[in-house]
């Protein structure tokens, strides 16, 4: 397999992206420090109360994280509609990846192009009920495909196993088309589900409640990594 031109690497090791949605909102910085550097990326869920039935953060949160943790890889997942209205404000906040939901972008090529033009890595996200063909036209434009393994809006839900076929299809599409995006799964990730997700071909696992709901977030990340490594394809 070739490595991504973007500089992001996929390989046998699965990366873990703790989602601060499940962290104590009054102590997000402390929660990130409690990871003890075990995290690969920090996942930030932006919700608008419109595309999803929940509200979370605005760009000020991303700016604050960037200032407090200049070396962290910030993986920002926009669940906002219309996505095009929010690109500039989030790009200015300095994330590393800015991912939009395909269902929330009226003109998805334009939105992803705007993210790239802003100097960021674009990602596209697909909901469990959205067919794969919706993202096929833009796979060559993205550095990341985020596969929702739950319906977005809340942490602590159970993974929908029927979403795993999308991960497998993406692995095939990436090979057939000689592309280089990373594949990330989001929702219901636990030490128990991490193995199957890794086996299906995930490069990055997002985990909220499994990390920040644990007494020791650093060892929770290690447990996820161990769960993923058990079944990771050789």
Instruction: Write out the residues near ligand DX5 by the rule CB under 6 A.
Output: 19, 21-22, 43, 45, 77, 150, 152-153, 155-157, 186-189, 206-210
77 binds Zn ion (CB under 5 A): yes
Q: How far is the CB of 183 from Zn ion (least distance, A)?
A: 14
Q: Which one of the spans 37-45, 46-54, 58-66, 114-122 is the region binding Zn ion (CB under 5 A)?
A: 37-45
40 binds Zn ion (CB under 5 A): no
Q: Residue 73, Cα to own-chain centre: how many angstroms?
A: 11
Of 45, 180, 184, 196, the one binding Zn ion by CB under 5 A: 45
Q: Which of 68, 76, 97 is nearest to 20 (CA)?
A: 76
Site string for Zn ion, 112-151 (x = CB under 5 A): ----------------------------------------
75 binds Zn ion (CB under 5 A): no
Q: Which of 89, 57, 75 is nearest to 15 (CA)?
A: 75
Q: What is the rounded distance in angstroms from the CA atom of residue 56 to the CA atom of residue 13?
A: 30
Q: How crowded is residue 208: how many other Cβ atoms within 10 Å of its Cβ?
A: 24
* CB closer to ligand DX5, 56 vs 170: 56
Q: Which helix (H) or strand (E) holds 186?
A: strand 182-186
Cα radius of gyration (the chain): 16
Residue 217: which of ligand DX5, Zn ion, none does it interact with, CB under 5 to 8 A by kind?
none
Helix (DSSP H) and strand (DSSP E) numbers for the chain: 8, 8
Residues with a known catalytic role: 45, 186
């Amino acid at each position: 397999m070739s490595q991504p031109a973007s500089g992001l690497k996929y390989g046998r090791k699965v990366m873990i992206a703790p989602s601060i949605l499940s962290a104590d909102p009054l102590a997000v910085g402390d929660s990130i420090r409690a990871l003890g550097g075990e995290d690969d990326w920090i996942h930030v869920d932006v919700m608008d109360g419109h595309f999803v039935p929940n509200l979370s953060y605005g760009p000020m949160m991303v700016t604050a994280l960037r200032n407090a943790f200049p070396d962290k890889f910030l993986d920002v997942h926009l669940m906002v509609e219309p996505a095009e209205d929010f690109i500039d404000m989030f790009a200015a906040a300095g994330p590393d990846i800015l991912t939009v939901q395909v269902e929330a972008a009226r003109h998805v090529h334009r939105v992803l192009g705007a993210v790239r033009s802003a100097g960021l890595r674009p990602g596209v996200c697909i909901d469990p009920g959205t067919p794969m063909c919706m993202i096929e036209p833009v796979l060559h434009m993205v550095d990341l495909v985020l596969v929702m393994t739950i319906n977005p809006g809340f942490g602590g839900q159970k993974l929908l196993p029927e979403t795993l076929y999308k991960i497998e299809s993406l692995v095939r599409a990436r090979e057939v088309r000689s592309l280089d995006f990373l594949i990330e799964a989001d929702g219901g990730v636990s030490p128990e589900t991490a193995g199957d997700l890794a086996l299906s071909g995930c490069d990055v696992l997002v985990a909220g409640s499994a990390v920040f709901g644990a007494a020791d977030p650093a060892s929770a990340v290690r447990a996820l990594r161990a769960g993923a490594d058990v079944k990771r394809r050789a």
